[in-house]
Structure 1
Amino acid sequence: MTTVRHLEIAAAAEPPAEGTRRLIDGQERVYYDGYWIKTYPVPADSLDAKKRLIEALTRRLFNHTEYGLNIPGHRLAEARAAYAAEQDPGKSRVKAAMLAGALFNRATDIFRKLVELQAEGIEVGCDDALMRECGQYLMEAMELGRFVLHRSGEEGIDELWGEPFRAFSIPVEDFYEGRYIKIGQTLRDIDRIAAAMIDTIGQVPLFAGVAGPIRDLAAAAKVKTETLRTDPEIFDIWSSLVTAGERLANFTPGPPTGTPSRCPPPAGSPVHSVSDGLHLLRAGRDLVFYITRARTPMPKSTREYIERCQTYLAIGSVPFAPVPLPA
């Protein structure tokens, strides 16, 4: 398995410009946020390429959001009427999310037909009425994306809702470059989460051996984040990530080597709950998986998780956290 290259910058050295490309060990990589990220060939900028990209982004969107949003495009009028008639705030949010799903699917339906027309030799211009309608649906869906939660139930991922519209409205090459920027931000947050776990949970004597499994998970997650599912290496990369997550989830707390099992904590220091520490480890594992699979930062969840880790180190327990939606 390859390793994401993180740039170590000497005090007097200047980092390369964002977007710099270099060949490293025979693989082209692009520099963003301190990381050399694996690149992939960009498909030709055609209507067919955009159709395939929007279809893939739409599937990805529904894969990471709450359940029940994949409403077929032909039911768009029904979804819009249901949302407009709803008075209950909670149900209104959910119906707005369902409407967003129908809008995305309708836009994909239109794009698919436009590509079929082009394949028959019929020219489709950017100012075509159906092209404009497709763009309007994608824009409306993006605006409704603020009502949609990630499958964990903790926050939304607005980036995912904007991606199909960006793929529609800008050149394919520019879209791919924007994805590398987001991947760099995701790699940075994986490292932030891992560092928070080591600097808090890892400081508790019973969890003294947990730093290694945390680093292994972070390393595997970063490689997975930069790797497309179509990459031949995905079989080794995904299995490495899953097994690293299992090792962390199965970590068994115990006193450091050579330490008496009943050694009392120093006077005045908090007594750390083992069950809360294990819960935090597994919650951190889950969060790393969420952002790795989405290849997009989850700033609210990351910030709140780091705060919970700091609270655990300070007082020995963690506050209540939202329960994820069932898988």
Structure 2
Amino acid sequence: MSNTIGANDPSGAPTDAAVANGSVATIDGIESVYYDGYWIRWYEVPTDEDAARRELIDGLTKRVFHQAEPGINTPGYKLNNAREAYDREEDPERKRVNAAMLAGALLNRGSDIFGMIFHMKQRGIEITENNELLLECESCFLEALDLGQQVLHYSGEEGLDELWGEPLKIFSTPIADYYKSRYIKIAQTMSAIDGIVAKLTQVLLTSPVYKDAEALLSLFAKASKHEIETMKTDPAIFAVWPEFVASGNKLWRFQASLVAAGAAEERLKEGNILIREGKKLMEWIAFARVPMPKTTASFLARCDAYLAKASPVIAA
């Protein structure tokens, strides 16, 4: 059962600090669940665990490759080739890339095997816990998780090794537990978005010329959170995704008028760059649905450096 209560404030902060994690309520007409300070779009746990596992593993496998550096989506049937190349390579830089390619092959092989197991079960074939296919599937996911630590995000900024553990989590835990862990991770991701927005807002407040960007940033932050919380299978995505893209494009196109001269003009240019970098980082995080702590820390440091130079406030 859920209760209808007031919505979060525009910043996304919770309205009631006493709300317990796991509480379900209707927020702005949307069934939502509360975790760690955020109301998150709630989804009913599927009753058909086998079908849900198959769909989730397939979707999460695709998600890994969408977020990873290019060239590593190695087909599962090329696993032996990928392993031989990895074992043979000695140069550290090239070996890291071979490790990423091997991780891709292992993840695809594990997903392929799980699909076979699912179809066998659908045909009434009993699959015991010590079945060789099941054991090989688990082994593939485990090794992919280990090697996935060497894979970079497509930006090249840092790795997102926790994404490589998602298929294994689905494979080995009850679906209800996965949904709970998903909500916790989404709350952490929303918090990361809020941290970026808070710091970037400080940058915008250094000059009146950034005033219009404040509203654009707020809209994109809200749209980013909706993108983070919405499953791709949810029909709501047809409203959520266009708003995310459109609001992001508006923020990206914003350029403060360089009305000042000399050092002040240079700082305004730097501010324009930070707005675009912030938008790009929020987009990366929303796509991945996990925080990017290293990249975020680097961005926040650049904002702090700007703030140190931009004080006092730059006049319009």
TM-score by length of 1: 0.86
Corresponding position: 1:303 with 2:297: yes
Q: Secondary structure at the match of 1:178?
A: helix
CA distance in 1 between partners of 2:250 and 2:20 (Å): 37
Map Cα deviations across residues 247-296 of structure 1 (whole Å, 9 max, x no partner). 111113137xxxxx55899xxxx764333222211111111111111111
Q: For 2:80, give the aligned amino acid.
A: A
Corresponding position: 1:65 with 2:65: no
Residue in structure 2 matching 1:293, options 260, 264, 287: 287
CA distance in 2 between partners of 1:98 and 1:14 (Å): 45
**Residue matched to 1:158:** 161
Distance verdict in 2 for CA 1:253–1:117, change over 3 Å? same
Identical positions, percent: 42
Q: Of Structure 1 and Structure 2, which has the larger fraction of its residues in helix?
A: 2
CA apart distance, 1:171:
0.6
CA distance in 2 between partners of 1:95 and 1:204 (Å): 48
**Residue matched to 2:130:** 127
Q: For 1:300, give the aligned amino acid.
A: K
Residue in structure 2 matching 1:87, options 90, 109, 118: 90
CA distance in 2 between partners of 1:62 and 1:263 (Å): 46
Corresponding position: 1:96 with 2:99: yes
Residue in structure 2 matching 1:242, options 209, 230, 245: 245
**Residue matched to 1:42:** 45
Q: For 1:22, give the aligned amino acid.
A: A
CA distance in 2 between partners of 1:104 and 1:238 (Å): 27
Q: For 1:310, give the aligned amino acid.
A: D
CA distance in 2 between partners of 1:155 and 1:302 (Å): 10
CA apart distance, 1:242:
1.3
Gaps of 5+ in 1: 256-260, 317-327
Q: Indicate the larger mover: 242-251 or 67-76.
A: 242-251
Whether the 8 Å CA contact 2:60–2:167 is kept in 1: the answer is yes
Q: Secondary structure at the match of 2:205?
A: helix
Q: For 1:204, give the aligned amino acid.
A: S
Root mean square deviation, CA, Å: 2.1
CA apart distance, 1:244:
1.1
**Residue matched to 2:230:** 227
Q: How do 1:98-117 residues align onto structure 2 when only pairs under 5 Å count?
A: 98-117=101-120
Q: Secondary structure at the match of 1:28?
A: strand
Map Cα deviations across residues 163-219 of structure 1 (whole Å, 9 max, x no partner). 000000001111111111111111111111111111124323432432111111111
CA distance in 1 between partners of 2:168 and 2:138 (Å): 7
Bigger relative contact order, structure 1 or 2 (CA pairs below 8 A, ≥6 apart): 1
TM-score by length of 2: 0.89
Q: Secondary structure at the match of 1:31?
A: strand
CA distance in 2 between partners of 1:93 and 1:49 (Å): 33
**Residue matched to 2:81:** 78
Q: Indicate the larger mover: 126-135 or 53-62.
A: 126-135
Residue in structure 2 matching 1:203, options 206, 220, 229: 206
Q: For 1:293, give the aligned amino acid.
A: F
CA apart distance, 1:79:
0.5
**Residue matched to 2:277:** 283
**Residue matched to 2:197:** 194
**Residue matched to 1:320:** none
**Residue matched to 1:321:** none
Q: For 1:225, give the aligned amino acid.
A: I
Map Cα deviations across residues 5-54 of structure 1 (whole Å, 9 max, x no partner). 74445xxx752222222233553311112111111122225333212211
Q: For 1:62, give the aligned amino acid.
A: F
